[in-house]
Amino acid sequence: MSVHKSFTWLWVFTVLGFVAPGGLFLYWAANDFTTLAAALHDRLALAFIADVLITTGALTVYFAKRPPGPYRWPWFLALSLLGTLAFGLALYLWLNRQTHQDDVA
95 Cβ neighbours under 8 A, 6+ residues apart: 69, 71, 75
DSSP state of 62: H
Kindly state the average pLDDT of the residues 43-51: 91
User: What pLDDT, in 10s, does the model give residues 55-92?
Assistant: 999 999 999 999 999 999 999 999 999 989 999 999 99
DSSP state of 2: -
pLDDT at 99 over 90: no
Residue type at 53 in one-letter notation: L
Q: Could you tell me the residue range of the domain that residue 45 belongs to? A: 3-104
For the chain, what is the domain count?
1
pLDDT at 38: 83
Cα–Cα distance for residue pair 24/28, rounded to 1 Å: 6
